[in-house]
Amino acid sequence: MLAYLVIREGSKWTDVFRLVEGRTVTIGRAPTNQIVIKDERCSRHHAEIFLSEREWILRDLDSRNGTLVGEQRVIGDHTLSAGEIVRIAHAQMAFVHDLSEAFPDTPADQKQEETVLGEADDDDDVLESHEPTTITHRKGQTRFLERRSGDDEGSTPKVGQAATKLCRIAFELANEPDTISVANRALEGLLDGTHVNAGAVLLVPRDFHGVPAGNDLEVIASLSKDDVKYHRVSNFLAMMVMREGEAVLARNVEGDSTLGSRDSQGEIHATSVLCAPIRQDGKVVGLVHMYSTKTELVPDPDDLEFSLAVADNVALALKTLERQQELAENLNVTQGEVKQLRRQLGAASEIVGTSPLMFQVQQEVSRAAPSRATILIRGESGVGKELVARSVHYASPRKKGPFVCLNCAALSETLLESELFGHERGAFTGATDRKIGKFEAADQGTLMLDEIGEMSPTIQAKFLRVLEGHPFERVGGSNAIKVDVRVIAATNRDLEKAVAEGTFRRDLYFRLRVVEITVPPLRKRPEDIIEIAQHFLQSYMADSGRKLLGFTAEARDQLQQYRWPGNVRELKNVVERAVVLARADYVDVDDLNLSNLATAGDSAIIPATLNTYEPMTLAEVERRHILATLRQTSWNKSRTARTLGIERSTLDRKIRRYGLVPDVDTVRES
């Protein structure tokens, strides 16, 4: 379905527009049209032409002055026939399937020329077309980069021949993978483009200092033809070129021992010699040595020019190779560092433990990680909530992004807002520079907020808006900032109780509790204790350089029976201390130094008498327990009442009933 619009301005045909199947051609005054007619009588979007059911249709787009085909105005759609003339304002467009049909009054030998090269008159800028008229040639490979037999060299000037060869050599040098390949390719081009029959590329050794002689240079590659064997450049010539940095052409050197090349018997073979420096950043790093052994083969100044140009291209190719090698080495180092860091991060995020409870946690992590859902991690202090959060991050699609952690309980309300959302310079006293917040730092990654229950109500409101996808502003700023962050919250508090008491927002609680993962305390998974202890033992031995054989049987039993009020964090510190202080090859009971603190499910200090039976009344047990709790809290009655689970007034009555008084040391400290 070849079709064309041949466009005429006045008495001359000025342009040809090819109609393409599946493409609608718009005509109008607006510059967005395919055919632009700059005439006030033409509407901005005047008409369009398109293919429908194998017919080309012209449609007028409710133009102000109308579209004519011949002398007939187009109403709606019009099916175009070959030879019809479309008139819009002052422009005329002939619709044809064969370009010769558009020029019935033109001699046949001028038709194609006028179609392609027809000149527009002075105001041809009135009409614009966005497609070229014709494609005159197509070629996938330039002939200047092809190796030719030289059959047309007689018709090409010598300078043109040299330029073509140099272009090809430069292209080939840029694609060589190593120094030897560069040298061989350059020698092939020189032997083909100059009047010589032997040569070599020589470079200065990396560890050499000063001006080298010929014997000091390293021959990277040599090449010859006509069964000629290459002989090394003379010391005098090499030092001259290396010192001066200029190319040298010497002819008739048969009797000159300073310029000619000698063999092992000292006989001079060269009749003419070329020597060009290889220069990098103003320094000569080597040379190209070429010579002729035939009297009828004499290089000329053009050969010297060509040799110098090739030497400069060799220098550039070698510099590029050095840069590539440097980048490759740096990349290998960087990749090694990245792999090492990822291994360390992977080890830091690996959950240790094979108990059913920890297997359940690992299953919950694997199910929650691929999603974008907010996660609430619950558990006692020290159980490894941050470790679980890291595992979620590194198992998620965000693992290549940042993992940012912030403890909400460690900061005041003002500082917490600044840490979360950042601040502008001058936002408050001490804000001397702009600072991005944790949300911005965690963009495209994961933000873990530990102790989320300690966040103030004011920060909770702003935090909730960000969780719901709204942009935020830095403290003291006015620019809206939007980030893509996955939030993982962690707490050891009873959030339901905090919601009931009004200290934690109900809507924020439900927004955080999309996915909930509960990490069990260490005392509820005793089968993991020895495995975790061995893991920490290996880690700290690697850090400290100590070589221990493990734990004694008694130490293992005590680790298993201990209640671990500090959970995994306490076990980690116990093992670290044991590695530092162990006096034998095995960690023994004396090296563990376990505490007698109660777990979160117990209260106060565990009395030593609980391990042995002693007859006493319930009132005496209560008296001793209240006194032990008071001593543990340094007689802080509010904390003691919370620990015992009774009212403050009830505690005061029991203190009076049992006649409890602070110790002398406690009174002295207070």
Under 8 Å between Cβ of 568 and 532 = yes
pLDDT band at residue 439, thresholds of 50, 70 and 90?
A: very high
Distance between CA atoms of 328 and 336, rounded to whole angstroms?
Answer: 12
Which burial class, exposed, middle or buried, applies to 534 when counting CB atoms under 10 A from its CB (0-12, 13-18, 19+)? Answer: middle
Q: For residue range 535-593, what is the model confidence (pLDDT) as tens digits?
A: 999 989 988 888 889 999 999 999 988 889 999 999 999 999 999 988 889 999 888 88
pLDDT value, residue 213: 79
Distance between CA atoms of 627 and 604, rounded to whole angstroms?
Answer: 10
Reduced to 3 states (helix: H, G, I; strand: E, B; else coil), residue 647 is: coil
pLDDT value, residue 203: 92
Closest CA to 528 of 351, 391, 380, 364: 351
Residue that is written with structure tokens 């309300």 in the block:
413
Structure tokens that stand for 617 in this block: 């009344």
Lowest mean pLDDT among 9-18, 602-611, 630-639: 602-611
pLDDT band at residue 153, thresholds of 50, 70 and 90?
A: low
Structure tokens that stand for 220 in this block: 């990277």
pLDDT value, residue 131: 42
Q: For residue range 214-234, what is the model confidence (pLDDT) as tens digits?
A: 788 889 999 988 778 888 888
Distance between CA atoms of 222 and 288, rounded to whole angstroms?
Answer: 10
Angle at CA of residue 462, ends 459 and 465, nearest 5°: 145
Sign of the torsion angle spanned by Cα atoms 415, 417, 419, 423: negative
pLDDT value, residue 485: 93
Element containing residue 666 per DSSP (H, E): helix 664-669
DSSP 243-308: HH---EEEE--TT-TTTS-B-TT--B--SEEEEEEEEETTEEEEEEEEEE--TT----HHHHHHHH
Reading phi first (left if > 0) and then psi (alpha if -120 to 50, else beta), residue 115 is in alpha
One-letter identity of residue 239:
M
Report in angstroms the alpha-carbon separations of 532 from 140, 347, 568, 569, 583: 66, 13, 8, 11, 22
Q: What own/partner pairs with CB < 8 Å and gap ≥ 24 does 181-187 have?
A: 182/314, 182/317, 182/318, 182/321, 183/220, 183/221, 183/314, 184/221, 184/223, 186/288, 186/310, 186/311, 186/313, 186/314, 187/221, 187/222, 187/223
pLDDT band at residue 86, thresholds of 50, 70 and 90?
A: very high
Element containing residue 381 per DSSP (H, E): none
Contacts of 290 (CB under 8 A, 6+ apart): 190, 191, 194, 196, 198, 199, 273, 274, 275, 299, 307
Give me the mean pLDDT over the 284-302 stretch: 88
Provide the β-strand partners of residue 278. 286
Q: What is the CA radius of gyration of the chain?
A: 45
* pLDDT top residue among 51 and 120: 51
6 φ, ψ to 5°? -95, 115
Strand ranges (E), 61-178: 68-69, 72-73, 77-79, 85-88, 91-96, 127-129
Sign of the torsion angle spanned by Cα atoms 329, 330, 331, 333: positive
Which of 102-116, 137-151, 436-450 is most confident?
436-450
pLDDT value, residue 664: 57
pLDDT value, residue 567: 92
pLDDT value, residue 561: 87
Structure tokens that stand for 129 in this block: 């077309």
pLDDT band at residue 108, thresholds of 50, 70 and 90?
A: very low
Under 8 Å between Cβ of 478 and 518 = no
Q: How many CA atoms lie within 13 A of 337 on its CB side?
A: 6
pLDDT value, residue 520: 93
Q: For residue range 630-649, what is the model confidence (pLDDT) as tens digits?
A: 988 889 898 898 888 898 88
Give me the mean pLDDT over the 93-109 stretch: 66
With a cut of 70, say whether residue 625 has pLDDT above it.
yes
Distance between CA atoms of 157 and 170, rounded to whole angstroms?
Answer: 20
Reading phi first (left if > 0) and then psi (alpha if -120 to 50, else beta), residue 659 is in left
Angle at CA of residue 367, ends 361 and 372, nearest 5°: 115
pLDDT value, residue 227: 78
539 φ, ψ to 5°? -65, -45
Q: For residue range 485-511, what is the model confidence (pLDDT) as tens digits?
A: 999 999 999 999 999 999 999 999 999
With a cut of 50, say whether residue 303 has pLDDT above it.
yes
Question: In this structure, what is the dihedral angle of CA atoms 342, 347, 348, 352, given to the nearest 10 degrees?
Answer: 150
Distance between CA atoms of 53 and 45, rounded to whole angstroms?
Answer: 24
Give me the mean pLDDT over the 429-439 stretch: 87
Distance between CA atoms of 392 and 82, rounded to whole angstroms?
Answer: 70
pLDDT value, residue 12: 66
DSSP state at residue 216:
G
DSSP state at residue 207:
T
Closest CA to 99 of 15, 37, 20: 15
Give me the mean pLDDT over the 67-91 stretch: 90
Distance of CA 367 to the CA centre of its chain: 27
Mean pLDDT of the chain, nearest integer: 82
pLDDT band at residue 600, thresholds of 50, 70 and 90?
A: low
pLDDT band at residue 175, thresholds of 50, 70 and 90?
A: confident
Lowest mean pLDDT among 1-5, 148-152, 277-281, 417-421: 148-152
Strand order in the sheet with 248-251: 218-224, 198-203, 283-292, 272-280, 248-251
pLDDT value, residue 583: 87
Provide the β-strand partners of residue 6. 16, 94
Contacts of 117 (CB under 8 A, 6+ apart): none
